[in-house]
A and B are shown apart, each in its own frame.
Chain A
Amino acid sequence: MPCSVLIVDDHPEFRAQARALLVAAGYHVVGEAADGESGVRVARDSRPDVLLLDVQLPDINGFEVARRLRDEPEPPLIVLISSRDAADYGSRVRRSGAAGFIAKAELSARSLEFVLRGSR
Chain B
Amino acid sequence: MIGRRFGLALIGVVGVAWILGAEWVSISHGVTENHFIDALGGLAFLIGGLIAMDRRPGNVIGPLMLGVAFVPYLGNFGNVQVTPLPLLGVISGQVAAPMLAHIALAYPTGKLRSGLDRAVVATIYGAATAVNLVIILVFDPRAGGCGRCVREWAVFPNRSVFDGVLSAYQRIGFVLALAFLVAVALRWRRATPAERRDLTPLWIAVSIIAVVYLLQAFASPFVDDPFAYLLWELQGVAQIGLPAVFVWGLLSSRLARSAVGDLVVALQQPLRPGELRAPLARTLGDPSLELLYPLDGQDRWVDADGRAAPLADGLASVTIVQRDGQTLAALKHDPGLDPELVRAAAAAAGMSIENERLHAEVRAQLEEVRQSRRRIVEAGDRERRRIERNLHDGAQQRLAALALSLAMLRDGGRADAATAASLAEAGDQLRQAIGELRELARGIHPAILTEEGLTAAVESLVDRSALTVLVKADLDDRLPEPVEAVAYFVVAESLTNVARYAGTCQVRVELARQNGSLRVEVADDGVGGADPSRGSGLRGLDDRVAAVHGRFLVETPDGGGTRVLAEIPCDG
Residue numbers of A with Cβ under 8 A of B are 11, 13-14, 17-18, 20-21, 24, 56, 83-85, 87-92, 103-109
Contact = CB atoms under 8 A, between A and B. Distances in A.
Given A83-B396, A90-B448, A90-B459, A14 B464 contact: no
B412 A104 contact: no
Nearest to B433: A105
Contacts of B459: 90
A86 to B, nearest CB: 10
22 contacts: A11-B401, A13-B401, A17-B405, A21-B407, A21-B408, A24-B411, A56-B393, A83-B400, A84-B441, A87-B448, A87-B463, A88-B438, A89-B447, A90-B451, A90-B460, A103-B434, A105-B431, A105-B434, A107-B400, A107-B407, A108-B411, A109-B411
B496 to A, nearest CB: 17
A89 B452 contact: yes
Contact of A20 (B408, B442, B447, B451): B408
Contact of A17 (B393, B408, B438): B408
A58 to B, nearest CB: 11
Contacts of B412: 24
A36 to B, nearest CB: 15
Contacts of B161: none
A90 B430 contact: no
Nearest to A110: B411
A72 B550 CA distance: 49
Chain B interface extent, by class? 20 to 34
Q: Which of A18, A92, A105, A108 has the most CB of B within 10 A?
A: A105
A17 B460 contact: no
A88 B460 contact: yes
B219 to A, nearest CB: 89
Contact of B397 (A21, A83, A91): A83
Main secondary structure of the interface of B (DSSP, over half): helix
Interface in B374-409: 392-393, 396-397, 399-401, 403-405, 407-408
Contact of B400 (A24, A87, A103): A103
A17 B403 CA distance: 10
A84 B452 contact: no
B185 interface: no
Contacts of B441: 84
B446 interface: yes
A102 B30 CA distance: 122
Contact of B464 (A87, A91, A104, A108): A87
A18 B404 contact: yes
Contacts of B438: 83-85, 88
A105 B430 contact: yes
B411 A89 contact: no
**Residue among B404, B411, B441 with most chain A CB within 10 A:** B404
A84 B434 contact: no
Contacts of A14: 397, 400-401, 404
Contact of B403 (A11, A89, A105): A105
B452 A105 contact: no
Interface string B80-105: 00000000000000000000000000
B360 to A, nearest CB: 48
B119 interface: no
A38 B394 CA distance: 23
Contacts of A89: 447-448, 451-452
A88 B448 contact: yes
Which of A14, A84, A89, A103 counts the most chain B CB atoms within 10 A?
A84
Contact of A88 (B401, B404, B447): B447
Interface string B444-471: 0011100110001101100110000000
Given A90-B456, A105-B431, 18 more contacts: A14-B400, A17-B408, A18-B404, A21-B404, A21-B407, A83-B396, A83-B400, A84-B392, A84-B396, A88-B446, A88-B447, A89-B451, A92-B451, A103-B400, A105-B399, A105-B404, A105-B430, A107-B407
Contacts of B405: 17
A50 B396 CA distance: 25
A104 B411 contact: no
Contacts of A17: 401, 404-405, 408
Nearest to B430: A105
B456 A91 contact: yes
Contacts of A56: 392-393
Contacts of A105: 399-400, 403-404, 430-431, 434
A108 B412 CA distance: 11
Nearest to A104: B400
A104 B399 CA distance: 9
A13 B448 CA distance: 26
A22 B35 CA distance: 122
A85 B464 CA distance: 12
Contact of B407 (A11, A13, A108): A108
